[in-house]
């Protein structure tokens, strides 16, 4: 089994925010928290590119490295999850993450920062698979239901691909060959340590 | 002697080609996803508890739902 990965195809993303909506609806994410968002580069300039960004479930996750209470863990499928019962909401993971994935709900009179919330690759948390407790803290566990992340399955142009790394890489590779351009996979070099077309070599990359 | 040195050199030079294991790290242990859920929303076509069928089901689902080059049109 290869590891679960996201690929966002910047040639296809039309900034519709369907992935963001699907995620918020599927997991009933509270106001002020966006587990996924769409970023547009060179907005308004001809040739602008949009990419859908969330937790990339990095191979060597910096959030896991800096967490002072060790609340993160990685599943057999390479999905980086965390335990909200252990999280103290310090925000170190937010500073460490190159994708801005960790989110913090701020509610109450003084806007107290709550426990960290982030994309779970629709894989829930440490509670029993599909339980109400898991849903309330982390949202739906679609992987355990035999489904792929809602953001990718709802993507209208199939710009966002999610699933087994070998499968999504194969789908993307086939597209690039068919259209003859757009081989850059945004974020893969950072998340998975591999050099991508059009990017300078990453020092110490595997 | 030379052969041993060559084998040692090959082993050492290829050692960096491996990938670090990524499975189940961290303080917590979670129930594997292939065990399924007890709710009524499980997708049909795979057997809960059977890792191979779960993996195959997700691969097929990814190809069917995300690869439009597979469609007949």
Percent of chain B's residues with pLDDT above 90: 44
* pLDDT of B6 above 90: no
* pLDDT of A84 above 60: yes
CA A22 to chain centre: 13
Substitution target from B30, B65, B68 for chain A, most A beta carbons within 10 A: B30
pLDDT score for B12: 66
Substitution target from B25, B50, B65, B66 for chain A, most A beta carbons within 10 A: B66
Segment A80-96 mean pLDDT: 93
* pLDDT of B15 above 60: yes
Is B58 within 8 Å of A146 (Cβ atoms)? yes
From CA B24, how far away is CA B29, in angstroms rounded? 7
**Concatenated DSSP letters of A175-201:** HHHHHS-----TTHHHHH----TTSPP
Task: Judge whether B50 is closer than 8 Å to chain A, CB to CB.
Answer: no
From CA B48, how far away is CA B31, in angstroms rounded? 12
* 3-state percent helix, strand, coil for chain A, nearest multiple of 5: 25, 15, 55
Task: Judge whether B18 is closer than 8 Å to chain A, CB to CB.
Answer: no
Under the banding of pLDDT at 50, 70 and 90, the label for residue A187 is confident
Percent of chain A's residues with pLDDT above 90: 75
Under the banding of pLDDT at 50, 70 and 90, the label for residue B49 is very high
Q: What is the pLDDT of residues A121-176, one digit of tens each?
A: 999 999 999 999 999 999 999 999 999 999 999 999 999 999 999 999 999 999 99
**Which tokens is A119 given?**
């994309």
Domains, in order of start, for chain A = 4-192 (3.30.70.20)
Mean pLDDT, chain A, rounded, equals 89
Reported pTM: 0.84
From CA B45, how far away is CA A123, in angstroms rounded? 19
Q: What is the pLDDT of residues B18-33, one digit of tens each?
A: 555 556 666 677 889 9
Segment A49-69 mean pLDDT: 94
- Residues forming a β-bridge with A51: A39
Q: Which residues contact A87 (CB under 8 A, 6 or more apart)?
A: A69, A71, A115, A116
* pLDDT of A112 above 80: no
Paired sense of beta strands A49-53 and A37-41, if any: antiparallel
Under the banding of pLDDT at 50, 70 and 90, the label for residue A19 is very high
Under the banding of pLDDT at 50, 70 and 90, the label for residue A109 is low
Which bin fits A109, alpha (ψ -120 to 50), beta or left (φ > 0)? alpha
From CA B62, how far away is CA A168, in angstroms rounded? 8
Q: Which of A64, A143, A167 sits opposite B63 (nearest CB)?
A: A167
Q: Which of A75, A131, A153 sits opposite B30 (nearest CB)?
A: A75
Is B9 within 8 Å of B23 (Cβ atoms)? no
Q: Which of B22, B39, B67 sits opposite A59 (nearest CB)?
A: B22
CA B67 to chain centre: 19
DSSP symbol at A103? B
Which ipTM was obtained for this model?
A: 0.86
Under the banding of pLDDT at 50, 70 and 90, the label for residue B70 is confident
pLDDT score for B30: 83
**Which tokens is A30 given?**
């509270």
Mean pLDDT, chain B, rounded, equals 81
CB contact under 8 A, B23 and A59: no
pLDDT score for A114: 84
**Which tokens is A128 given?**
């029993």
pLDDT score for B22: 56
* pLDDT of A202 above 80: no
Whose structure tokens read 């690759």? Answer: A121
Q: Of all helices (H) and strands (E), which one includes residue B54?
A: helix B51-66
């Amino acid at each position: 089994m290869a590891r679960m990965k996201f690929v966002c195809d910047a040639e296809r993303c039309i900034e519709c925010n369907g992935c963001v909506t699907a995620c918020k609806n599927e997991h009933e994410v509270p106001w002020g928290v966006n587990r996924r968002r769409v970023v547009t580069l060179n907005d308004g300039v001809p040739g602008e590119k949009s990419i859908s960004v969330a937790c990339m479930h990095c191979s060597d996750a910096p959030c896991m490295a800096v967490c002072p209470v060790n609340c993160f863990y990685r599943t057999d499928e390479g999905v980086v999850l965390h335990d909200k019962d252990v999280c103290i909401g310090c925000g170190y993971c937010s500073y460490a993450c190159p994708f801005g994935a960790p989110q913090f709900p701020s509610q109450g009179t003084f806007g107290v920062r709550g426990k960290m919330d982030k994309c779970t690759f629709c894989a829930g948390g440490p509670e029993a698979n599909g339980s109400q407790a898991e849903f309330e803290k982390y949202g739906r566990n679609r992987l355990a239901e035999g489904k792929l992340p809602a953001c990718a399955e709802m993507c209208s142009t199939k710009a966002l691909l999610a699933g087994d790394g070998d499968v999504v890489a194969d789908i993307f590779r086939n597209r690039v060959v068919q259209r003859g351009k757009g081989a850059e996979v945004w974020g893969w070099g950072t998340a998975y340590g591999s050099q991508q077309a059009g990017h300078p070599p990453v020092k110490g990359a595997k | 002697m030379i052969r041993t040195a060559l084998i040692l050199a090959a082993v050492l030079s290829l050692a960096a080609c491996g990938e670090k294991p990524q499975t189940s790290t961290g303080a917590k242990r979670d129930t594997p996803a292939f065990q399924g859920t007890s709710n009524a929303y499980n997708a049909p076509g795979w057997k809960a508890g059977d890792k191979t069928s779960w993996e195959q089901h997700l691969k097929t689902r990814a190809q069917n739902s995300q690869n439009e080059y597979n469609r007949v049109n």
